[in-house]
Chains A and B, each alone.
Chain A
Amino acid sequence: MTQTNGAPRSFQEIILRLQNYWAAKGCAVMQPYDMEVGAGTFHPATTLRSLGSKAWAAAYVQPSRRPTDGRYGENPNRLQHYYQYQVLIKPSPPNLQELYLGSLEAIGVDMALHDIRFVEDDWESPTLGAWGLGWEVWCDGMEVSQFTYFQQVGGHDCHPVSGELTYGLERLAMYVLGVDHVMDMPFNDPDALIPLTYGDVFKQTEEEYARWNFDVANTEVLLRHFEEAEAECAAILAQEHQDPKTGKRIIMAHPAYDQCIKASHIFNLLDARGVISVTERQAYIGRVRALAKQCADAFVLTEAGGHAADSAA
């Protein structure tokens, strides 16, 4: 492993170092999920795999979208599209805190000079019907990660418990690289033949999406899509477990969960468009949670969810 020592020089170097570090610690380095999500937790490698009894260890970058956070690329810290780095290990190993601190060192945080703190922060996702206990991790007073021991997901108790680490990559990288505005952050090496900043890559898209998210997205279409996703999710899960064509037991937890992800993102878009009132908000969150719960119910009946293969099969 060619772990570069010393300070990293770019956003991508920080990502690469995290990938290398967690690969070396035995995680399956996965790729981002190919759908719009609000956070890395939504990736089925976390949501679904934290359920059931099977051991699991995964690490990945997840592009995440939060339409309401769009600031046309002008705010130094806020973006409607950003990256999270996500690690999920089940069962949580006893040295997870040390492993985590090791990852900070790997990206150039010198433990002898910085003040790292674990500050109480209990995590809850109302849309996923999930909660856990843990901390936000502070480095010199700045929150750099979320550290959670999952207790419940999709309404199911987690047994064994997964340890989840979430790094807000832009914020962490800006701190490590000493950059004040996200758009000024070097994306690749500043000495590369064609050096690119984060702004070179994303400034324009932040503007485009902010305009679309806030003012243009067709709310009627979105509302319809929400209902369709909801209906499709239910329809998928209503299918017989036994596939009539192959004769195999195939529970379609993942395709159903895709619809849940879709509904969740559409809800976020509708929220950004300002067409959801305070009271309706709770109702929509409840509808997404109901989908997440049904998908979780289905997943635990699958093999990956720890369901023992039927002797009759």
Chain B
Amino acid sequence: MPDLLIELFSEEIPARMQARAAEDLKKRVTDGLVEAGLTYAGAAALSTPRRLTLAVDGLLAESPTIREERKGPKVGAPDKAIEGFLRGAGLTRDQLEERDTPKGAVYFAMIERPGRPAAEIIAEVLEATIRNFPWPKSMRWGAGSLRWVRPLHSILCILSDEAGASIVDMDIEGIKSGNTTRGHRFMAPDEITVTGFDDYSAKLKRAYVVLDARERAEAIWQEATNQAFANGLDVVEDKGLLAEVAGLVEWPVVLMGAIGEEFLELPPEVLQTSMKEHQKFFSVRNPKTGRIERFITVANRETADNGATILAGNQKVLSARLADAKFFWENDLRTVREQGFEPWVEKLESVTFHAQLGSVGGQVNRIAALAQALASKVDADPALALMAAQACKGDLCSEMVFEFPELQGLMGRYYADAAELPAEIGKASEEHYSPLGPSDDVPSEPVSVAVALAEKLDKLTGFWAIDEKPTGSKDPYALRRAALGVIRLVLENDLRLNLKESFEAALQTLLKLAEWQGALLEAKAAEKGATGEELEAAKKRVHDMAHQVEAAIAVTASASSDLLSFFHDRLKVFLRDQGIRHDVIDACIAMDGSDDLTLLVKRARALEDFLKTGDGENLLQGFKRASNILSQAEEKDGVEYSFGADRKFAEDDSEKALFDALAAGGDAISPAIEAEDFAAAMRGMAALRAPIDAFFEAVQVNAENEIVRRNRLNLLSQIRQVCGQVADLTKVEG
């Protein structure tokens, strides 16, 4: 059985696209082959910056012949029907067979689709694959119309078996398939003829090409850590960077260089970010000092001077970059040491947060008001929370963050410390964006928590007010993430917060500050001697914004309950991942106070645990039975049975026992609920299980005697009432 080797050789493929492209090549080609009847034993795809390679082992030499029998019209049927059948079968009338069937003589067609040689199929499949390749972005070149990620230069496509290798002939817009490739662009640019995968990969290695990206990545990491270790240093791990760098070279050569002494005082994150973003360097840390002292770069070739020229060049570029970073750092430090965050905070007034929600300055004012209000709920000092919130976005106006936006927050911490502000302020600046994802750390320092909550609540209520809610897969302002952030901040810090109150407070703040900001805007425009038109425009903007917020406030109740149900949805997703069923959460959401997430989750966990026990499962059944009988009777009689069950009308012992149990249960459960000890409340409910079961066992609720019947129905309503204190059990499935 032959093996297939394909190589698509092109100009440099973007590093981030290579791995995916190799997989796509494998999938599309092998799917196509199998569909055409060519099965295979195994397939592997590989990539370098200049080539995508696919090796398929143990391919059928030709597709199997397929025979098919097709039943046609009756003999003597109208010509039209017979002709139609012939067309469909691709035969002529004399090729048809007549057979007697119980229904008379019928035409049969014997269709045979002969197998086709593998080469023919491969050529078709590969051409279709190339023409329809799912590149994230593709291009045309020269005068042709073929699309590829960058110009495609050659196609190597051979089938090989014991007898030797043969080229699978194809020609796509002038690119003819062959059995040759080329080695490293600079170190071995000549043509290489190959006979199969082993020959190909061995020859490429001799021509300075490591075909497997994983092998390149491993070699880079190995060599980098070795060089660092030899100097008593550590390479800062960065898997994303490693994968990217492995996609930029065919023949990795690891070089380590020193960072100029004058840059070592820069924060390590600045060095790391600058080196990674601009130069794709790894950072090398001194474990004793924690400082980043060297860098590792990966060249694509060996040189006679062992990389000395390359390293010197890279060092020079790095110095120029770091000189910039140092310049920004020193300017920023000067600013904060002399004037604190004031100048930056002032500038935020002219940075747009959102066209309808005004400036970042306005946003900061709102966050500050909210953080101050929230402080008491999170055990933070309100004055400190206010100050921290006012400073939290200041670093956005620093030169460093302008250059490296990904350092926002972190630079705020450095600069707050440099300005000798209380440590909590710097910390809040760094942490107030958190948590960013489901696995990101949640701040626990109270001031950070207050500011982080305020930031997210302001964002959510603001976008809710202007009706920019996430829809489907669209969530451009990452509001789902913000809501999850609030959820995790609340739960992981065990906070007691009535979200609806917080939403309303945030909306009120939005309105108040919109008006205030509007007045300011107008005053400024007037002061600048703005022309009538500009003044009008400013007035209009203010008016629009105030109007919108006002409209939202008018429906505050509905906006905030809409936002609350958005939170509940996010909470369900979050808790589902922790193994809590959605119906259990629904049963708890239906209770009062469900905007207190900590309470809600406490309830849900207790219920979830309870339902896993035999008592819980059976109690639920008993409850449902009681509830069903009751609802039916209520519907039939048109009254609500909710009051007045009297033990003296009880006839059966089990009935009396149930009366007693419910009275005792109520006494135990209510205080437990009061104390939010839901597990105790559940235990109280568990005690009801046996009496309820016994009651249903012995007693017919719908008794003939109307007084007895009514009394029993009212008794059932007690079950509903007592059990309903923890959660709305009607919403629980099963």
* Residue positions of A touching B, CB distance < 8 A: 76-77, 91-94, 97, 111-120, 122, 132-135, 139-142, 149, 151, 158-161, 163, 175, 180, 277-279
Contacts and interface: CB of A to CB of B under 8 A. Distances in A.
B139 A132 contact: yes
Interface in B222-264: 248-249
B163 interface: no
Interface string B304-316: 1100011011101
Given A91-B143, A141-B279, A141-B317, 18 more contacts: A91-B141, A92-B142, A92-B151, A112-B186, A113-B304, A115-B299, A116-B300, A118-B11, A119-B248, A120-B16, A132-B139, A141-B313, A141-B314, A142-B316, A151-B140, A161-B139, A161-B143, A279-B352
B80 interface: no
Contacts of B304: 112-113
A88 to B, nearest CB: 14
A149 B144 CA distance: 13
Given A91-B142, A160-B143, A140 B313 contact: yes
26 contacts: A77-B320, A91-B142, A92-B141, A92-B151, A94-B142, A111-B186, A112-B186, A113-B304, A113-B305, A113-B310, A115-B310, A116-B186, A116-B300, A117-B248, A118-B11, A118-B49, A119-B248, A133-B137, A133-B138, A140-B313, A142-B313, A149-B139, A149-B140, A149-B150, A149-B151, A278-B352
B615 interface: no
A21 B318 CA distance: 31
Given A120-B16, A140-B313, A279-B355, A115 B301 contact: yes
B697 to A, nearest CB: 75
B583 interface: no
A258 B104 CA distance: 86
Interface string B35-58: 000000000000001000000000
A41 B360 CA distance: 36
A163 B142 CA distance: 8
Contact of B139 (A76, A91, A133, A175): A133
Interface in B345-365: 350, 352, 355
B297 interface: yes
Given A94-B151, A113-B303, A120-B14, A140 B318 contact: no
A112 B303 contact: yes
Interface string B73-116: 00000000000000000000000000000000000000000000
Which 5 pairs between the two chains have the least Cβ-Cβ distance? A140-B313, A120-B14, A118-B12, A160-B143, A141-B314
A89 B151 CA distance: 15
Nearest to A116: B186
B139 A142 contact: no
A133 B148 CA distance: 11
B496 interface: no
B153 interface: yes
Contacts of A111: 186
Contacts of B137: 122, 133
B15 interface: yes
B313 A175 contact: yes
Contacts of A135: 12
Interface in B617-674: none
B274 to A, nearest CB: 12
A156 to B, nearest CB: 13
B346 to A, nearest CB: 16
B309 A114 contact: yes
Interface string B329-351: 00000000000000000000010
A135 B50 CA distance: 13
A219 to B, nearest CB: 14
Pick the most buried of B12, B149, B249, B303: most chain A CB atoms within 10 A of its CB: B12
B332 to A, nearest CB: 18
Contacts of A116: 186, 300
Nearest to A139: B313
B525 to A, nearest CB: 13
A122 B313 CA distance: 25
Pick the most buried of A76, A116, A122, A277: most chain B CB atoms within 10 A of its CB: A116
A116 to B, nearest CB: 7
Contacts of A113: 303-305, 309-310
B150 A133 contact: yes
Given A112-B303, A141-B297, A151 B139 contact: yes
A76 B321 CA distance: 11
Nearest to A178: B316
A117 B138 CA distance: 20
Nearest to B308: A113
Nearest to A135: B12
A134 B318 CA distance: 24
A114 B316 CA distance: 14
Nearest to A122: B137
Contact of B15 (A94, A115, A120, A139): A120
A135 B10 CA distance: 14
A142 B317 contact: yes
Contacts of B149: 133
A151 B145 CA distance: 11
B308 to A, nearest CB: 8
Nearest to B140: A161
A185 B149 CA distance: 39
B300 A117 contact: yes
Pick the most buried of B140, B186, B312, B323: most chain A CB atoms within 10 A of its CB: B140
B251 to A, nearest CB: 11
Contacts of A180: 316
Nearest to A111: B186
Nearest to A55: B143
Given A112-B304, A120-B14, A140 B141 contact: no
A94 B143 contact: no
Contacts of A76: 320, 323
A140 B142 contact: no
A98 to B, nearest CB: 9
Contacts of B186: 111-112, 116
A248 to B, nearest CB: 30
B412 to A, nearest CB: 22
Contacts of A91: 141-143
B181 to A, nearest CB: 16
A103 B355 CA distance: 48
Interface in B122-164: 137-144, 149-151, 153
Given A94-B153, A161-B142, A140 B16 contact: no
Nearest to B153: A94
Contacts of B151: 92, 94, 149
A114 B310 contact: yes
Nearest to B149: A133
Pick the most buried of A113, A132, A160: most chain B CB atoms within 10 A of its CB: A113
A147 to B, nearest CB: 9
A221 to B, nearest CB: 18
B142 A141 contact: no
A141 B314 CA distance: 5
B309 A140 contact: yes
Pick the most buried of A111, A140, A151: most chain B CB atoms within 10 A of its CB: A140
A136 to B, nearest CB: 11
Contacts of A115: 299-301, 303, 310, 313
A259 B248 CA distance: 42
Contacts of B143: 91, 159-161
B463 to A, nearest CB: 19
Contacts of A93: 142
A92 B151 CA distance: 10
Nearest to A140: B313
Nearest to A93: B142
Nearest to B298: A115
B349 to A, nearest CB: 12
Pick the most buried of A76, A117, A175, A278: most chain B CB atoms within 10 A of its CB: A117
